Amino acid sequence: MTLQVHLSPEQLAELAELIAARISTAQAAPAPLKLAYTIPEAAEATGQTVWCIRTAIRRGELHARQASERGAYAIPADSLQAWLHGVPNTTLSAPSARGQRKAH
Report the alpha-carbon distance of residue 19 to residue 21 in Å, rounded. Answer: 5
Task: Tell me the per-residue pLDDT of 36-81, one tens digit each, with 9 for 90 and over.
Answer: 999 999 999 999 999 999 999 999 999 999 888 888 999 999 999 9
Using alpha carbons, list the distances in angstroms from residue 69 to 7, 54, 66, 95. Answer: 67, 15, 7, 17
Residue type, 55: T
Using alpha carbons, list the distances in angstroms from residue 16 to 22, 23, 86, 94. Answer: 10, 11, 46, 58
Contact 1, 15 (CB under 8 A): no
The model carries a pTM of 0.55
Average pLDDT over residues 17-28: 76
